[in-house]
């Protein structure tokens, strides 16, 4: 149907051309001349009339033909067929025509080819020789109906090798890169965080106002329904004396009072609850292993803030299936909008693993997901490992996530020495060091990829000690241990990362978020923190991620932070050249960090990461060239299409 539709369009396009060629008015010409012999006077008169009429007819026809030819030119030049199709509301059909409709098993109904208008608009990321900065580029991609790249090449090459295909040209100026991989996300939590979003609040009053608006805007199911919000950051509050907020701020508002409320700090490592939620906690222990109950210095009473493991003392109800579905779909929708084709989910609890399996069974995973199984405490006793699960084969569980320490924003990252701006603490471990010593080798022996969250230099150092001894007798390339965040490392530990073949899974946007206070908080230690270029130079592998919802789900925000180390307006505490500019990544290093290197970090380098024949057709069409535009322009980039297994999941080709 759609094909016919398009053929109709092309035949309308073609006809005027034929008319143009057929504008032969010779028979008309001879007719008035015949009369000349009989009525000379009138003949002249008639002839002139006839000539005029013939001239007008000819002129008219010529103008019609000219208009038609111009229309054809416009249609071809500006792709007005698309406009027409959109006016007619036939976009879906157009999409099907172009890429073939994916079936439930992910197969497309036909092969297709896309090309950029310039010769090298497609970055394939194919490696060539030993030059890490080499950018292999091509003009066209041929995708077969299994969603695999069948060929790459110039338009002329494709026309020769695939004469049956009509290559589709992408809008001029657009470029194609391999599907972007976000190596550290919390997808379900992201969707959840977007329901009562406290990001960007500039004062406690604004936080209270947002919670108030949220409560008033939606009917509560019942009075004891828990209200959960995410995203506050006391470092951004104006006229704030410092430290954490307290429950009485929330209790002062009559709308908030009496309803259990939990508000998470943006990094999720601190939870601020109100008086009602505190009551529902019942009797609290004096101390929380791997966390902290913040107490009033004078009275010793809890102030309403719980750090890390202490959060487990708050009796939050479990999310329902309907909530999980809502949150996850929000996550999929947003990441696809930004060109993400695969994520590494950095903390998937057993209940969420089961939920994702169900989605995969139903063919409802629009992106690839690599789960890191997680338990709050103790040893993982969740499901077995699996790979390529579901009809689309997009779900994987072969990694385990452990969390060694807290975060720097709440002084929770485990440091060897106290914080420079808060000498009363040097952070803490979230799991006991003994558990790390017992479990890391055990998981490794059982065949799991072990990914450990380490932010502070002590967490990184001690986990590296454990990994170093656990790796004896193992091939590092086969087991691919990862340290998630790897934020603050002692110089010698950076070298060890490389030597041991441990992957640093880093989130460059955290450097530009933390840069406003990191110098003060870390002192000299900041010089080997967020040291992405040093990690690469010493030979370590990296994978780039966002840590959404802690940071933006847009991978180009990650890319921009990695290559510029400035904020969204181009500034940094060290000026416009960036915060510790020596640690900037090149654009090629950053792009590899979210494609080929990220694929390696999830054992998928044979399937995705590069746009070469035989690999999956996961790619993104961007409206500009992120490898050459001004750094600040990167943030204005629009994604025109996100394609997974050859099928368009967002936008249009
Ligand atoms: Zn995380």
pLDDT of residue 80: 54
For the chain, how big is the Rg over CA atoms in Å?
Answer: 31
Q: What is the mean pLDDT of residues 437-463?
A: 96
Facing residues of 348 across strands? Answer: 373
Q: Contact 171/185 with Cβ under 8 angstroms?
A: no
Q: What is the mean pLDDT of residues 220-243?
A: 87
Contact of 494 with 535, CB cutoff 8 Å: yes
For the residues 107-126, what does the mean pLDDT come to?
92
Span 30-49, average pLDDT: 37
pLDDT at position 71 is 74
**DSSP letter (8 states) at residue 43:** H
CA distances from 207 to 42, 201, 320, 327, 476 (A): 94, 6, 26, 22, 47
Q: In this predicted structure, what is the pLDDT of residue 500? A: 97
User: In sequence order, what are the residues at sequence separation of 6 or more whose Cβ sits closer than 8 angstroms to the Cβ of residue 289?
Assistant: 309, 432
Tokens of 17: 């051309």
In this prediction, residues 61-77 reach a mean pLDDT of: 74
Q: Chain-wide mean pLDDT for the chain?
A: 87
CA of 360 to the centre of ligand 1 (A): 23
Beta bridge partners of 485: 454
* pLDDT band of 132, cuts 50, 70, 90: confident
Interstrand relation of 395-403 and 449-454 (parallel, antiparallel or unpaired): parallel
| CA 104 / ligand 1 centre spacing (Å) | 32
Degrees (nearest 5) of the Cα angle 216, 219, 224?
Answer: 100
**Dist. CA 338–CA 594, nearest whole Å:** 13
pLDDT class for 3, splitting at 50, 70, 90?
Answer: very low
- Residues 205, 223: Cα–Cα separation, whole Å: 23
How many C-alpha atoms does 546 have within 13 Å on its Cβ side?
A: 26
Q: Measured at the alpha carbon of residue 177, what is the angle toward residues 173 and 179, in degrees to the nearest 5?
A: 135
Rounded distance from Cα 186 to ligand 1 centre (Å): 6
Give me the pLDDT at residue 338, please. 98
Residue 56 confidence class, pLDDT cut points 50, 70, 90:
confident
Between the CA of 267 and the centroid of ligand 1 the distance, in Å, is: 8
CA of 475 to the centre of ligand 1 (A): 27
Distance 342 CA to ligand 1 centre (A): 16
CB-based contact 451:547 (threshold 8 Å):
no
Largest CA distance in the chain: 125
Give me ligand 1 centre to Cα 307, in Å.
Answer: 15
Q: Report the C-alpha dihedral over residues 399, 400, 403, 409, rounded to 10 degrees.
A: 30
Evaluate if residue 98 carries a pLDDT over 50.
no
- Where does residue 193 rank: exposed (0-12), middle (13-18), buried (19+ CB within 10 A)? buried
Q: How far apart are CA 443 and CA 84, in angstroms?
A: 58
* Interval between CA 185 and ligand 1 midpoint (Å): 6
Confidence at residue 353, expressed as pLDDT on a 0 to 100 scale: 95
Mean pLDDT for 254-265 is 94
- 3-class secondary structure, 534: helix
Centre of ligand 1 to C-alpha 354, Å, is 20
- Give residue 17's pLDDT band: very low, low, confident or very high (50, 70, 90): very low
Q: How confident is the model at residue 14 (pLDDT cuts 50, 70, 90)?
A: very low
Question: What share of the chain in percent tops pLDDT 90?
Answer: 73
Q: How confident is the model over 169-202, as pLDDT tens digits?
A: 999 999 999 999 999 999 999 999 888 999 999 9
Q: Which residues surround ligand 1, an ion (CB under 5 A)?
A: 346, 547
The answer, yes or no, to whether residue 504 has pLDDT greater than 50, is yes
| Residues near 600 by beta carbon (within 8 Å), at least 6 away in sequence | 480, 503, 541, 543, 609
pLDDT above 80 for 375:
no
Please give the residue that has the higher pLDDT: either 39 or 264.
264
Rounded CA-CA distance 129/219 in Å is 62
* pLDDT, tens digit (0-9, with 9 covering 90-100), for 153-175: 999 999 999 999 999 999 999 99
CB 275 within 8 A of CB 256: no
Q: Which of 599, 624, 587, 589 is nearest to 176 (CA)?
A: 624
pLDDT exceeds cutoff 70 at 95: no
Residue 403: pLDDT band by 50, 70, 90 thresholds? very high
CA 547 – ligand 1 centroid, Å: 5
Q: Ligand 1 centre and the CA of 585: distance in Å?
A: 21
Instruction: Give the number of residues written for the chain.
Output: 653
Output the CA 523–ligand 1 centroid distance in Å: 24
Instruction: Give distance in angstroms: CA of 350 to centre of ligand 1.
Output: 17
> Is the CB of residue 565 less than 8 Å from the CB of residue 580?
yes
Q: How far is CA 513 from CA 56, 471, 579, 591, in A?
A: 72, 34, 11, 20
Distance 405 CA to ligand 1 centre (A): 12
163 Cα to the center of ligand 1, angstroms: 48
What the block records as the tokens of 260 is 């259990």
Q: How far is the CA of 373 from the centre of ligand 1 (A)?
A: 13
Residue 158 DSSP code: H
Handedness of CA 560, 563, 564, 567 (dihedral sign): positive
Q: How far apart are the first and last CA of the chain?
A: 19
Q: Can you give the pLDDT at residue 378?
A: 72
CA distance 138 to 121: 6
Task: Write out the DSSP string of 309-347.
Answer: GGGGGS-PPPPPHHHHHHHHHHHHHHHHHTTEEEEEEEE
Q: What's the gap in Å between 194 CA and the centre of ligand 1?
A: 16
Q: Whose CA is closest to 492, among 520, 468, 522?
A: 468
- Counting residues of the chain whose pLDDT is more than 70, the rounded percentage is 85
Decide if 466 contacts 500 (C-beta within 8 A).
Answer: no
pLDDT at 18 over 50: no
Asked if residue 72 has pLDDT above 70, the reply is: no
Stretch among 221-225, 341-345, 439-443, 610-614 having the lowest mean pLDDT:
221-225
**165 alpha carbon – ligand 1 mean position (Å):** 44
More reliable by pLDDT, 613 or 224: 613
Whole-angstrom distance, CA of residue 242 vs CA of residue 234 = 7
Model pLDDT, residue 52: 66
């Amino acid at each position: 149907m759609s094909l016919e539709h398009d053929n109709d369009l092309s035949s309308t396009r073609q006809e005027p051309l034929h008319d143009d060629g057929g504008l032969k008015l010779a028979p008309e010409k001879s007719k008035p001349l015949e009369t000349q012999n009989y009525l000379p006077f009138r003949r002249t008169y008639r002839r002139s009339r006839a000539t005029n009429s013939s001239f007008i007819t000819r002129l008219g026809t010529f103008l019609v033909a000219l208009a038609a030819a111009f229309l054809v030119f416009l249609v071809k030049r500006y792709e007005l067929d698309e406009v027409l199709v959109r006016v007619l509301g036939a976009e879906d059909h157009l999409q099907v025509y172009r890429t073939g409709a994916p079936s439930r098993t992910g197969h497309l109904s036909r092969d297709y080819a896309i090309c950029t208008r310039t010769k090298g608009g497609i970055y394939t990321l194919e490696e060539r020789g030993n030059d890490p900065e080499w950018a292999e580029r091509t003009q066209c991609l041929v995708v077969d109906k299994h969603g695999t790249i069948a060929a790459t090449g110039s338009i002329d090459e494709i026309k020769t090798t695939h004469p049956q295909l009509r290559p589709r040209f992408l809008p001029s100026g657009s470029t194609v890169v391999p599907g972007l991989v976000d190596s550290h996300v919390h997808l379900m939590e992201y969707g959840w965080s977007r329901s009562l979003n406290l990001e960007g609040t500039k004062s406690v009053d604004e936080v209270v106002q947002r919670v108030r608006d949220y409560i008033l805007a939606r009917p509560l199911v019942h009075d004891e329904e828990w209200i959960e919000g995410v995203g506050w950051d006391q470092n951004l509050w104006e006229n704030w004396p410092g430290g954490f907020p307290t429950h009485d701020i929330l209790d002062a508002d009559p709308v908030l009072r009496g309803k259990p409320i939990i508000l998470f700090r943006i990094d999720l490592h601190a939870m601020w609850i109100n008086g009602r939620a505190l009551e529902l906690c019942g009797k609290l222990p004096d101390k929380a292993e791997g966390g902290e109950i913040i107490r009033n210095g004078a009275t010793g009473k809890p102030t309403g803030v719980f750090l890390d493991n202490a959060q487990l003392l708050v009796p939050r109800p479990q999310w329902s299936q309907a909530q999980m579905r809502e949150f996850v779909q929000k996550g999929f929708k947003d990441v696809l909008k930004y060109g993400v084709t695969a994520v590494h989910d950095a903390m998937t609890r057993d209940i969420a693993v089961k939920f994702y399996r169900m989605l995969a069974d139903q063919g409802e995973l629009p992106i690839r997901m690599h789960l890191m199984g997680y338990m709050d405490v103790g040893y993982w006793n969740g499901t077995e490992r699996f790979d390529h699960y579901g009809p689309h084969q997009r779900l994987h569980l072969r990694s385990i996530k452990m969390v060694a320490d807290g975060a720097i924003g709440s002084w929770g990252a485990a440091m060897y020495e106290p914080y420079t701006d808060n000498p009363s603490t040097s952070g803490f471990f979230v799991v006991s060091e003994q558990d790390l010593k017992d479990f890391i080798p055990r998981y490794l022996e059982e065949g799991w990829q072990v990914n450990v969250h380490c932010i502070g230099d002590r967490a990184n150092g001690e986990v590296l000690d454990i990994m170093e001894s656990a790796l004896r007798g193992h091939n590092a390339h086969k087991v691919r241990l990862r340290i998630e965040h790897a934020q603050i490392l002692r110089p010698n530990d950076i070298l060890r990362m490389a030597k041991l073949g441990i992957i640093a899974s880093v989130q460059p946007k955290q450097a530009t978020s933390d840069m406003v206070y990191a110098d003060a908080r870390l002192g000299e230690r900041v010089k080997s923190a967020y040291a992405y270029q040093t990690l690469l130079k010493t030979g370590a592998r990296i994978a780039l991620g966002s840590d959404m919802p802690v940071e933006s789900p847009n991978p180009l925000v990650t890319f921009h932070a990695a290559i510029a180390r400035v904020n969204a307006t181009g500034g940094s505490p060290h000026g416009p050249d960036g915060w510790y500019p020596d640690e900037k990544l090149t654009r090629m290093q950053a792009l590899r960090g979210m494609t080929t290197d990220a694929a390696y970090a999830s054992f998928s380098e044979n399937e995705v990461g590069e746009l070469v024949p035989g690999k999956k057709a996961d790619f993104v069409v961007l409206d500009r060239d992120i490898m050459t535009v001004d750094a600040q322009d990167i943030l204005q980039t629009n994604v025109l299409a996100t394609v997974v297994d050859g099928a368009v999941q967002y936008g249009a080709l």
